[in-house]
Amino acid sequence: MLNEKEVAVIGLGPSGVTAAIYLNRFGMIPYCFEKELVGGQVNKTEKIENYTGVKSIGGPELGNLLESQLSYFGIKPIYKEVKEVKLNDSGTFTIKYGNEEKEFKYVIVCSGLRPNPFVVPNQESYNSKGISRCAICDGPLYKGKDVVVVGAGNSAFEEASYLATICSNVSLIARRKEFRAFPSAIESLKNKANAKIFAPYNIINSKGSNSVEEVVIQNVETKEEETIKASAIFLYVGEKADSTFMNIKKLNVDDNGYIIVNDKKESSVENLFACGDVIKKDLRQVATAVSDGSIAAYNIYQKYSLKHG
């Protein structure tokens, strides 16, 4: 028999962890699915300095704190990837994960983002060795070497600033002169003596034997070319919502897969909620993710209470 107190929480970034904690405190039973690490994207962030009450904290450290808080409340993550969420005729949801499946009355999607595809020209010649999407994970491998960062958003500038503290030289390549990053992130990189910004430039070629060794860039306006030494290329070229596993035609999403929700974090499908980076919103930060998670959990509890008293 279906236990309506059981709530599926898909993804354990800050929004999912918060939702799970609030559900637990409301007397609900969160089933938490995570395909990688508790903390999600924060584990790939070198430093967080805009979370209220915390002056500065390393991303992996915050991820560990989130995991320990789940443990404190007796919430055990299910470390399996959710392959599909299907809406049943009865209005419930079937979640397929690993080789298993389970039915739920309520679901909160907190699956975050997935990176946009990006192919570095000629990367197949060196088997793509030296190409990464995580500076904090792989940056120490290139300590004292020259590296390239591709992108124009907060992640690109923040991680380039981090790499500048351990690498000899950091070159940031941006396709446009206008950057999407916050002014503070841009200024931080500009103040690094061993960092240089190339904008507007594209990568038109890369060279290497066993791993990448050089990157050829071209000015978008003048077509002037320049060759940069690089032992690694770190890609921060944008992301889309990680919602492709949602097999529900009635679900309202935008062109990039972001789930559209109301102020209660309800989607267009009854009893399906979403929060964090996967939803359509203007600001994707730890602070807003935490807020989303608490709101979603509260409104599920309200719905359950109205039905069951």
Distances from the Cα of 262 to the Cα of 12, 209, 269, 272, angstroms: 21, 52, 11, 11
Does the pLDDT value for residue 157 go beyond 80? yes
Does the pLDDT value for residue 309 go beyond 80? no
Does the pLDDT value for residue 47 go beyond 90? no
Which run of H or E residues covers position 200?
A: none
- Topology adopted by domain 6-115+239-308: FAD/NAD(P)-binding domain (3.50.50)
Cis peptide before 14 (omega within 30 of 0): no
Equal CATH topology for 6-115+239-308 and 123-235:
yes
Does the pLDDT value for residue 40 go beyond 90? yes
Read off the tokens for 136.
Answer: 């904090």
Residue 167: DSSP 8-state: S
- Which pTM does this prediction carry? 0.86
pLDDT digits (tens, 9 = 90+) for 235-273: 999 889 999 999 999 999 999 999 999 999 999 999 999
Does the pLDDT value for residue 170 go beyond 90? yes
User: Residue range 152-162: average pLDDT?
Assistant: 94
The span from the CA of 18 to the CA of 49, in Å, is 19
Q: Locate the domains of the chain by residue range.
A: 6-115+239-308, 123-235
Q: Average per-residue pLDDT in the chain?
A: 95
What pLDDT is recorded for position 44? Answer: 87
User: Residue range 199-227: average pLDDT?
Assistant: 96
Residue 116: DSSP 8-state: P
Q: Are strands 93-97 and 212-219 parallel, antiparallel or unpaired?
A: unpaired
What pLDDT is recorded for position 1? Answer: 83
Share of the chain above pLDDT 70, in %: 100
User: Residue range 128-150: average pLDDT?
Assistant: 94
User: Residue range 23-42: average pLDDT?
Assistant: 96
CATH class of 123-235: alpha beta
